[in-house]
Structure 1
Amino acid sequence: MKKSKFIPLLLIAAILSVSAISCASAASFEQVLDRWTKSVKYIDREDDISNMEVKATYYSAEFIEAYIQREAEKNLWTQQETEDYKYKFLQALRLDEMIPIQIEFINNGPTMHLGPFDIMVKLLIKNKSYKPADYDKRFNFAFQGQKEGLIYFPRYDEKTGKDLLEGVKSVTLELRGTISPSLTRGNATRFQWDVANDDPTKLYQGTTAARIETDRLIKRLENLRKDESSEQARLDAIKDEINTIQSRLDELSKNM
């Protein structure tokens, strides 16, 4: 009899242990989410009813890792399944080239007209501002209610290739006051994040790192081959012109 009672107790203890770990993990993710998500809410001063909330989440290495681990635990993935998901997730975020930020609007006020959205938002880094390199095109359509999507800002200087976040302590996302003039009163909406300790390279480890580097090298090789082909075509054109000119000079020399 003692043995039959002992087994259920072990099972209950195991279940409680898993539940405790799951709760702790969820709490940990919420703490990370709070660190990287900023929000502001506007309420109409005239009717005290119409309102709009804007949330912005900076996709830092810490946030991405916490999100992936939460998904893995929630879906009971194996290590390989987690690595596969991580690889696809990082590829979709284009983290090696872009700075992704998620924006969410909860609009319970006048219809919002944000298109073209790339003129409504910018990222301030040091003393310069940067337009989105890409964004969720659904932001271009008028809407009420909830709408969310990703915005991608360039991670590297277009001319020099330098990492824009190198040595940077903070970045600021700014939305124009015209996103909803009656609620914002024409004031810009700003969200600032401390990115001094953010290091995306921490995400690139193990098989995920090898797969992403392979993709990068293949892409680079394809570009080099295109350049080689283009240069070869240019050299061939130059040689043809040289031959044409030489032939004409030879003809002229016969008549002199």
Structure 2
Amino acid sequence: MHIRTFFTRKIWGAALAFCLVALSAWAVDNDAILKKWTRTNSFSEKTGLQTVDLKVTYYSAEYIEALVRSEAEKNLWTKDEMENYKYTLLKTLNLHESIAFHLDLNVTGVPMYAQPFDRHLTLFIGKKRYSPSDYDKRFNFKISGRRDGMVSFPRYDPKTGKDILEGAKDIRLSLSGSVSQATTARGDVLWVWDISKDNPDALGTGKAMDRLELDRLIKRMEKLNADRQELQTQIDALDKELGEVGARIDELQAR
């Protein structure tokens, strides 16, 4: 074998091995990050009539980035395909207005009845507590077997308009113990996430974020145009009345 060919193959072989090791490490990191933001619990009613397995995921910026990378790796996506997935995910989560969680329940034995489900959930940030702004309504129906869905909380305080995550060190999601027979004796379930090192700004780059910003700007423009039209209608009504008043003044002065 020609010596140049030999060394070329050696170099390419080493490069390929390095890439495979890097990809493997990337996958491990993604898995670790995904687990970091997920909480799991299992509860059983004391007589064994009902068991409830719970898995709760907080959609932090770090979790979303790891999820996108993990899906791209598994599906061998191109960069554009990855950006399209990220765009769809972020649009669904509506993170510029909401704080999103995914709940996965598995109920065996006696079915679980939790209507209205949102009454059983409370988000604590600092000394304040918040109720869900939206949730998967399927949680309101009889749950036997697996049921999963999203739960969202308002991102901005309704009184101050401030981003409730700004400056927060952690968030605590509480599920009432009365939600099921399996959790009644145990009491409320509390999950805590340290968000002090999470960086939401990490989501602010790429085509997906550009498309989301464009969507928001288009909606904002539509609202501003609607507001302007409403104001223009009021101005037209005032101009008409001013014209009528002026005409009457002229008529009275002419007598």
TM over 0.5: yes
Q: Deviations over 1:172-222 (max 9, x none)?
A: 111122210354327111111111122222112122232222111111111
1:52 aligns with 2:52: yes
SS at match of 1:197: coil
Q: Deviations over 1:129-177 (max 9, x none)?
A: 1111211121121111111111111112234332111110011111122
Distance 1:234 1:158, change over 3 A: farther
SS at match of 1:166: coil
Aligned residue runs from structure 1 range 4-83, under 5 A: 20-21=21-22, 23-47=24-48, 50-83=50-83
Aligned residue runs from structure 1 range 43-192, under 5 A: 43-47=44-48, 50-185=50-185, 187-192=187-192
Which amino acid in structure 2 is aligned with residue 60 of structure 1?
S
Q: Which is further off, 19-28 or 208-217?
A: 19-28
- Assess if the C-alpha contact under 8 Å between 1:32 and 1:63 holds in 2: yes
CA RMSD of aligned residues (A): 3.1
Gaps of 5+ in 2: 2-9
- Assess if the C-alpha contact under 8 Å between 1:54 and 1:104 holds in 2: yes
Q: CA deviation at 1:247?
A: 5.7
Q: Distance in 2 between matches of 1:156 and 1:71?
A: 30
Q: CA deviation at 1:84?
A: 1.7
User: Which residue of structure 1 aligns with residue 223 of structure 2?
Assistant: 223
SS at match of 1:85: helix
User: Which residue of structure 2 aligns with residue 207 of structure 1?
Assistant: 207
Q: Distance in 1 between matches of 2:182 and 2:72?
A: 43
Which amino acid in structure 1 is aligned with residue 25 of structure 2?
A
User: Which residue of structure 2 aligns with residue 6 of structure 1?
Assistant: none
- Assess if the C-alpha contact under 8 Å between 1:95 and 1:200 holds in 2: no
Q: Which is further off, 183-192 or 139-148?
A: 183-192
Distance 1:11 1:179, change over 3 A: farther
Q: Distance in 2 between matches of 1:246 and 1:71?
A: 70
SS at match of 2:212: helix
Q: CA deviation at 1:244?
A: 4.9
SS at match of 2:174: strand
Percent of residue pairs bearing the same amino acid type = 40
Q: Distance in 1 between matches of 2:242 and 2:186?
A: 64
Which amino acid in structure 2 is aligned with residue 65 of structure 1?
E
SS at match of 1:205: coil
Aligned pair count reads 251
